Amino acid sequence: MEALVLITLVLASASPRRREILSGLGLSFKVIPSTIDEQMAQSLPPGEMVEQLALCKAESVARSCKYSLVIGADTVVVLDGEVLGKPADRREAYAMLERLQGRTHQVYSGLALVETDKSGQICRRSVRHRITRVHMRPMNPDEIEWYIDTNEPMDKAGSYGIQGLGSFWVAGIDGCYTNVVGLSVPLLYEMARDMGHSLIDFTES
């Protein structure tokens, strides 16, 4: 029996990883990247920061969407209480990887759902975050240089991608894998359910 779904699912992110997660679930959705300034919440604790940025992203896109459920997300890597964002250059990527190697860090991903009605007004919001601990294997200088040469670290928080070549040095995780990639699927399901929606209804089959 085919579900009758009128509401549109919207991803407020240009991240190819988040797009791949939703596509891999077979969900039907639109992509409208947010253009907010991500520096606006840098002074907040990591959990509050990713929640505020995720919500701001979702709300900024929701203002142009009618009868939609807009997903906003933000991810940071935290080591010794310090937030590690995306590297500005090769030197910064090397410094981050050198610090992370052989140690355990935390990945915080904030997730926001913003619902709009048929007139385009925001009618409901939900925002939460999850934390996953990531245990990294030791990396020698040659391995770090090789990894940076692949260019994979340059657009990723913490300078590595767990879903790519960076997985060579991930010894294990405690928590949600997709949270490390950038969007926790279990959390998305729970939040949508709590707002009265089922992700199943957004599948293309």
Question: Tell me: the pLDDT tens digits for 165-177?
Answer: 999 999 999 999 9
For the whole model, what pTM was predicted?
0.91
One of 3.90.950.10, 3.30.70.20, 3.90.180.10, 3.40.250.10 is the CATH number of 8-202, namely: 3.90.950.10
Tokens of residue 173, six digits: 């995780």
DSSP H or E segment with residue 132:
strand 122-136
What letter represents residue 98's amino acid? E
Confidence of residue 39 (pLDDT cuts 50, 70, 90): low
In sequence order, the 6+-apart residues with CB closer than 8 A to the CB of 28 are 9, 202, 203, 204
What is the domain partition of the chain in residue ranges?
Answer: 8-202
- Catalytically active residues are 74
Question: Tell me: the pLDDT tens digits for 129-147?
Answer: 999 999 999 999 999 999 9
In sequence order, the 6+-apart residues with CB closer than 8 A to the CB of 204 are 26, 27, 28
CA distance 77 to 96: 10
